[in-house]
């Protein structure tokens, strides 16, 4: 069941959609990392006697680290450089993960299995670094299932700019109109739609859903039956 399903007029022309590839965001779509980011931020702020504000997470979500930490630094009027804050936060982040690693989002493996059975090319396009991608996905043995991974090191302009999704479509060998993007953040949805891709938003409780209106479809999780209906993998 979905908490809500928003379907724009352009999405109802043909169901299931006609598409050639599916591209996944990483954080909040494939892995449940947002609670870990929040815990790391709380630890960093706590050492300075400051409190975590959810609206800060909303603004940072989906953006490249440098851009996100610039906002973080300005909001809290911190004196440390962006690089110093990022390094400190990285230590807190991996400490917050602990021994268990970051869990996958519900439905990830089943969806990947279904897309693989259909012969659908899949990839990852994330604002995170390649080192981070390798570290958080390696325990799950999923990396080899994706045709390629695009990270912040592969683009000049991060989300909400469409560059990463334009490059993903080019790597796939077709125009962005034939690519479906799965995103969880406002910045990510804006990037996908600016690239002219179809976009399925899969928001969690930390996402401001009002900012996702431009998505072609909004579903409750990767297990949602509507997601499978639109992708033609019922």
Q: How does pLDDT run across 214-227, given as a tens digit for each residue?
A: 999 999 999 999 99
Q: How, if at all, do strands 198-201 and 122-125 pair?
A: unpaired
Q: What is the rounded distance in angstroms from the CA atom of residue 58 to the CA atom of residue 120?
A: 32
Average pLDDT of the residues of the chain? 90
Rounded percentage of the chain residues whose pLDDT exceeds 70: 94
Q: What is the pLDDT of residues 53-78, one digit of tens each?
A: 888 877 777 777 888 898 999 999 99
The answer to whether residues 37 and 57 touch, using CB atoms and an 8 Å cutoff, is yes
The CATH classification of domain 9-32+102-231, taken from the options 3.40.50.10860, 3.40.50.1000, 3.30.70.380, 3.50.50.60: 3.40.50.1000
- CATH tag, 34-97: 1.10.150.240
pLDDT classification of 160: cutoffs 50, 70, 90: very high
- The alpha carbon torsion through 73, 41, 37, 164 (nearest 10 deg) reads 0
CA distance 220 to 222: 7
Q: Which residues are catalytic?
A: 25, 27
Residue 185 phi, psi dihedral angles, 5° rounding? -110, 160
Is residue 111 over pLDDT 90?
yes
Q: What is the mean pLDDT of residues 1-17?
A: 56
pLDDT of the residue at 13: 62
pLDDT for position 7 = 45
| pLDDT number for residue 98 | 75
Across the range 11-30, mean pLDDT stands at 89
4 pLDDT more than 70: no
Query: What ranges do the domains of the chain cover?
Result: 9-32+102-231, 34-97
Predicted local confidence at residue 9, as pLDDT: 37
Give the angle subtended at the CA of 88 by the CAs of 54 and 38, to the nearest 5°: 20
Q: Which residue has the tokens 């979500």?
A: 61
End-to-end CA distance of the chain: 14
C-beta neighbour count of 57 within 10 angstroms: 19
């Amino acid at each position: 069941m979905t908490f809500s399903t928003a379907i724009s007029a352009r999405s109802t022309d043909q169901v299931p959609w006609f598409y050639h590839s599916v591209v996944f965001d990483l954080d909040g779509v494939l892995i449940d990392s947002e609670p870990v980011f929040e815990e790391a931020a709380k630890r960093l702020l706590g050492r300075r006697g400051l409190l975590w504000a959810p609206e800060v997470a909303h603004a940072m979500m989906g953006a490249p680290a440098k851009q996100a930490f610039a906002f973080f630094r300005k909001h809290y009027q911190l004196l440390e450089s962006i690089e110093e804050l990022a390094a400190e936060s990285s230590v807190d982040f991996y400490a917050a993960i602990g021994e268990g690693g970051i869990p996958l989002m519900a439905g990830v493996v089943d969806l990947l299995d279904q897309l693989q059975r259909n012969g659908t090319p899949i990839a990852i396009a994330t604002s995170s670094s390649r080192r981070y991608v390798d570290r958080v996905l390696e325990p799950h043995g999923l990396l080899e299932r994706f045709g390629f991974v695009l990270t912040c090191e592969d683009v000049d302009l991060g989300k909400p700019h469409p560059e990463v999704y334009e490059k993903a479509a080019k790597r796939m060998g077709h125009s962005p109109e034939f690519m479906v993007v799965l995103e969880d953040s406002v910045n990510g949805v804006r990037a996908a739609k600016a690239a002219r891709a179809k976009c399925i938003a899969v928001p969690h409780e930390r996402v401001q859903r009002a900012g996702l209106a431009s998505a072609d479809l909004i579903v409750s999780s990767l297990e949602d039956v509507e997601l499978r209906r639109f992708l033609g993998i019922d």
